[in-house]
Homo-oligomer: A and B are copies of this chain.
Amino acid sequence: MTQRLTYGMIGGGTGAFIGEVHRRAVSLDDRATLVAGALSSTPEKSKQSAHLLGLAPDRSYGRYEELFEKESQREDRVDFVSVVTPNDTHYPIAKMALEHGFHVVLDKPATHTSEQAAELAELARAKDLMCCVTYNYTGYPMVRQARAMVRGGELGNIRKVYAEYHQGWLAGDLEASGQKQASWRVDPKRAGLGGALGDIGTHAENLVSFVAGLDIESLHASLSSFVPGRALDDDASVMMRFANGGHGVLTASQVCIGEGNGLSLRIHGDKGSLWWNQERPDELRISMLDRNPETYTRGGPGLHEDAQISSRIPQGHPEGYLEAFGNIYKGAIDTIIAKRHGTELSRMAKLVPTIEDGERGVRFVERCVESAKKNAQVSWA
């Protein structure tokens, strides 16, 4: 019988988008059960949400501090916690979780400052705990195929990278309507330094890093706030020079009317190129020098093991966002079990984005904001 874990959730109460996503992503493979939670910003709402989710009253906590204190004293304490609160609270919650000995699944972007992320990383290493960050787009099988091909040298030396994350849902002044998702994302106190940059630009940055493993040496960013009164950027463009001599262009925008969740990646090497688009995630287009382009598909021929193990159903039966998200949890659960038994990490576990990836993401935002303020190129280090 497959080993099952239990987990607790901080945030993700009624009406929260990402908390439900996390729960469904876990449910999909049914390897962990939600048994505890501090789900909302007030004890009342937390308990109400916990009741709706069927949590036992004694594990329906009013505040996260309570959860950590009480759970850490239970014999059947949760195996890990998922932190799905707004950005500004990630750091104190994750810190307390780690200090109490819990493995942590942290929503992105990890923290407000790169120092905070670095501190969490150190704490996790010191306590030999997992602290992973749900850069969920890395969970797509064809993203993992792309990674295997680029890192295996199939495209040669990488010259040019285009990463885009374009949405349109903040094209109007949605925050004025009090829409919950919009409100905190445009508030510097809660969202952090970056608007679109932090919310989605970091996904694009992470995708480049995950797939191509390139180090940014310097960058020049240009940020705009197109909707009047918006304090943070709702549109960002970044040119990057990589350590290998390659060049990248990353754009993230939330004011592109007509774009749903337009995350895409194009990588051009001196031997070949790839194209991937989150809205058609089961396809990966590959074009090698002097050959016709081929389309790799999830479940199809010629896939690397990392792509194969990340797929649940056959070719042509679409998988989507939740399935990719579930792969992060699969790897996280594998990691926890491996740590418990002192065994080697599975392939699935090795693919999980870590707090170190989260730290790099936050630093990316910091560097972009610095560059935009100076209106000049800045170096990464």
Q: A256 to chain B: closest CB distance in Å?
A: 5
CA distance A21 to B323 in the complex (A): 13
Q: A218 to chain B: closest CB distance in Å?
A: 9
B1 contacts A160, CB within 8 Å?
Answer: no
B295 contacts A268, CB within 8 Å?
Answer: no
A259 contacts B316, CB within 8 Å?
Answer: yes
| In the assembled complex, A30 has its CB within 8 A of some CB on chain B | yes
B300 contacts A260, CB within 8 Å?
Answer: yes
CA distance A257 to B274 in the complex (A): 9
Question: Which residues on the B side are within 8 Å of A92 (C-beta)?
Answer: none
B295 contacts A54, CB within 8 Å?
Answer: no
Question: Which residues on the B side are within 8 Å of A24 (C-beta)?
Answer: 28-30, 312
Question: Which residues on the B side are within 8 Å of A301 (C-beta)?
Answer: 290-292
Chain A 167-197, CB-CB to B under 8 Å as 1, else 0, gives 1110110000000000000000000000000
Question: Which residues on the B side are within 8 Å of A220 (C-beta)?
Answer: 220, 222, 239
A318 contacts B278, CB within 8 Å?
Answer: yes
A251 contacts B249, CB within 8 Å?
Answer: yes
CA distance A162 to B280 in the complex (A): 21
A314 contacts B17, CB within 8 Å?
Answer: yes
Q: A163 to chain B: closest CB distance in Å?
A: 12
What interface size band does chain A fall in? 35 or more
Q: Known interface pairs A295-B292, A375-B377. Does A318 touch B318 (Cβ–Cβ under 8 Å)? A: yes
A1 contacts B54, CB within 8 Å?
Answer: yes
A171 contacts B270, CB within 8 Å?
Answer: yes
Question: Which residues on the B side are within 8 Å of A377 (C-beta)?
Answer: 375-376
CA distance A296 to B295 in the complex (A): 12
B4 contacts A54, CB within 8 Å?
Answer: yes
| In the assembled complex, A345 has its CB within 8 A of some CB on chain B | no
Question: Which residues on the B side are within 8 Å of A54 (C-beta)?
Answer: 1-2, 4
Q: Which of B4, B268, B280, B296 contacts A255 (CB 8 A)?
A: B268
| In the assembled complex, A138 has its CB within 8 A of some CB on chain B | no
22 A–B pairs (Cβ distance < 8 Å), ordered by A = A2-B52, A21-B313, A24-B30, A27-B28, A28-B28, A160-B226, A160-B235, A160-B255, A222-B241, A237-B247, A255-B268, A255-B270, A257-B268, A257-B289, A258-B293, A260-B314, A261-B316, A262-B316, A280-B318, A294-B294, A317-B320, A375-B377
> Contacts A222-B241, A318-B319, A375-B377 given; 19 further ones with Cβ under 8 A?
A1-B51, A2-B54, A24-B29, A24-B312, A27-B27, A28-B322, A168-B268, A171-B270, A222-B239, A224-B247, A249-B249, A256-B266, A257-B287, A257-B288, A258-B268, A258-B287, A260-B299, A318-B321, A319-B320
